[in-house]
Amino acid sequence: MRAAVMYGAGDVRVEDRPDPKIHEPTDAVVRVLRAAICGSDLWPYAAMPATDQGRPMGHEFLGVIEEAGSQVPGLSAGDLVITPFTWCDNTCDFCRKGLQTSCRHGGRYGFTGVDGGQGEAVRVPQAQGTLVKLPVAADSALLPSLLTLSDVLCTGHHGAVKAGVSRGDTVTVIGDGAVGLFAVLAAHRLGAGQIILMGGHTDRTSLGRDFGATDIVAERGDKGVAVIKELTGGLGAHSVVEAVGTQESMMQAIRSTRPGGHVGYVGVAHGVELPGQELFYAEVHMLGGPAPVRRFLPELIGLIWNRQIDPGRVFDLELPLDQAAEGYQAMDERRAIKTLLRP
């Protein structure tokens, strides 16, 4: 099969890889119909040290089951399924608490001998707990929207939930990538009264307006915080979603939150160090981390199926798998919000 492999910063190649096969009776092999490049894939694209072995890329995909192992009773060949960006048994104590990203038997695509999602096929461990059947045909126009369920749609939703968004609240979202845009969408759905999107790319923030943002703030850092304070009666927002993961964006989030408010941090943190004393006196709740996508799937699949939300709009570049390198470059240069790949 063909699959995308990263060999170092800026070096993504699509090459031949061994066809995935069932290793464990709990595995399934999925033939990929659609895959996506994630903003988090841009971190290694910017900084991964060169390697001879390469790393299979991608954790956002949907496809058709080609073969299911003997201990995957709920699924069979031909089923159209979506995967969360990590796999899980969905039965252990952590999974039962809705923390499927901490599953005792879980793991990540592209590591420990498991394929990445940006390829023609993937061996999915713990398939019974991980994969969820989609209520559409393989040629459905909803596939791009359903693909966002793998990560970004659920991660934005997670950010809004962790930020404690409730009816009438003022919400600030930091970051105008796909996750930030979907945090706006979630905040809107949860009834936020005012939604301030912080981002500097007008193609993105205008989509953010369509998703429910009431104000756009292009300023960053302390200047950005000052504008948020101005827009919120000098207090800061009730709920702030941090969807970037840098020191600047995390501090911007904490400083944009009013005392007693909530920060939901869902940008993968890189080099973030929190100042203890400032945090102590800020009196904000901080919750976040990787989204337990598996928990959110049933509800959010329903919203897409009912046409209540149209998250597929974030894909503004669609390429054949063989041009994955161009897909990375376009996102890295902010020419594209999000790239959809077709194997």
Binding residues for Zn ion, per CB under 5 A?
88-89, 92, 95, 103
* Residue 101 or 172 with smaller CB distance to Zn ion: 101
Neighbouring CB atoms inside 10 A of 111's CB total: 11
* Residue 80 or 95 with smaller CB distance to Zn ion: 95
CB of 71 to Zn ion, least distance (A): 15
- Residues 116 and 56 sit within 8 Å (Cβ to Cβ): yes
- Residues 89 and 31 sit within 8 Å (Cβ to Cβ): no
CB of 231 to Zn ion, least distance (A): 42
CB of 88 to Zn ion, least distance (A): 5
- Residues 59 and 100 sit within 8 Å (Cβ to Cβ): no
* Residue 28 or 103 with smaller CB distance to Zn ion: 103
Distance CA(49)–CA(96), nearest Å, equals 38
* Residue 96 or 270 with smaller CB distance to Zn ion: 96
* Residue 90 or 118 with smaller CB distance to Zn ion: 90
* Residue 91 or 194 with smaller CB distance to Zn ion: 91
Nearest Cα to 134, choosing from 38, 57, 3, 33?
33
CB of 26 to Zn ion, least distance (A): 12
Surface-to-core class of residue 21, CB atoms within 10 Å of its CB (0-12 exposed, 13-18 middle, 19+ buried): exposed
CB of 66 to Zn ion, least distance (A): 24
* Residue 80 or 103 with smaller CB distance to Zn ion: 103
* Residue 10 or 289 with smaller CB distance to Zn ion: 289
Distance CA(298)–CA(302), nearest Å, equals 6
CB of 102 to Zn ion, least distance (A): 8
- Residues 1 and 20 sit within 8 Å (Cβ to Cβ): yes
Angle between helix 221-231 and 247-255 (nearest 10): 20
DSSP notation for 113-157:
TPPPSSBSEEEETTHHHH-EE-SS-TT-TTHHHHHGGGTHHHHHH
CB of 117 to Zn ion, least distance (A): 20
Provide the token pair at 295.
């928990």
Neighbouring CB atoms inside 10 A of 102's CB total: 17
CB of 85 to Zn ion, least distance (A): 15
- Residues 91 and 129 sit within 8 Å (Cβ to Cβ): yes
Distance CA(140)–CA(160), nearest Å, equals 29
Question: How do beta strands 338-342 and 315-320 pair?
Answer: parallel
